[in-house]
């Protein structure tokens, strides 16, 4: 299964990925990276402030449920255009991101072009 997940971005680069697939894969990659780059002792020390679950799969379930999104009271929504030609590249670059870059919030430039918002 892990091999399939590693090979998936290479496949997605060639054909582009629809928006729903991109959001799903990006969320999974975020949870994978979060657990890869966060020491177990730090997770334990966070106690109740750690709301991402016990592992990447639980993190995905929590975040994909939408229950953790805070209501800001804003009703303004930006108009955004999705560009699938950048999505596969973004996913591959994000998965290859080092823990050092992840901790510094230094995300791949390729991800900046997936959505263009007004």
Give me the number of domains the chain comprises: 1
Is residue 31 within 8 Å of 63, Cβ to Cβ? Answer: yes
Per-residue model confidence as pLDDT tens digits over 22-69: 999 999 999 999 999 999 999 999 999 999 999 999 999 999 987 655
Is the pLDDT at 116 greater than 70, yes or no?
yes
Question: Is residue 10, in this structure, part of any structural domain at all?
Answer: no
Question: Is residue 7, in this structure, part of any structural domain at all?
Answer: no
Question: Is residue 99, in this structure, part of any structural domain at all?
Answer: yes
Question: Is residue 3, in this structure, part of any structural domain at all?
Answer: no
Is the pLDDT at 11 greater than 50, yes or no?
no
Question: Is residue 12, in this structure, part of any structural domain at all?
Answer: no
List the domain range (segments joined by +) for residue 55: 17-69+76-117
Task: State the pTM of this model.
Answer: 0.74
Question: Is residue 64, in this structure, part of any structural domain at all?
Answer: yes
The string of DSSP codes covering 23-65 is HHHHHHHHHHHHHHHS-HHHHHHHGGG--S-SSHHHHHHHHHH
In 1-118, where do the E strands start and end?
A: 80-82, 115-117
Nearest to 94 by CA among 84, 102, 86, 82: 102
Question: Is residue 53, in this structure, part of any structural domain at all?
Answer: yes
Percentage with pLDDT > 90 across the chain: 69
Question: Is residue 35, in this structure, part of any structural domain at all?
Answer: yes
């Amino acid at each position: 299964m892990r091999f399939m997940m590693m090979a998936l971005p290479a496949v997605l680069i060639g054909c582009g990925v629809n928006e729903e697939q991109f959001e799903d894969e990006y969320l999974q990659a975020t949870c994978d990276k979060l657990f890869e780059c966060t020491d177990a002792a730090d997770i334990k020390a966070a106690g109740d402030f750690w709301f991402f679950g016990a592992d990447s799969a639980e993190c995905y379930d929590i975040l994909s449920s939408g229950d953790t999104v805070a209501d800001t009271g804003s009703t303004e929504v930006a108009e955004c255009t999705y560009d699938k030609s950048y999505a596969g590249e973004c996913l591959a670059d994000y998965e290859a991101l080092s823990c050092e870059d992840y901790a510094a919030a230094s995300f791949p430039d390729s991800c900046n072009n997936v959505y263009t918002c007004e």
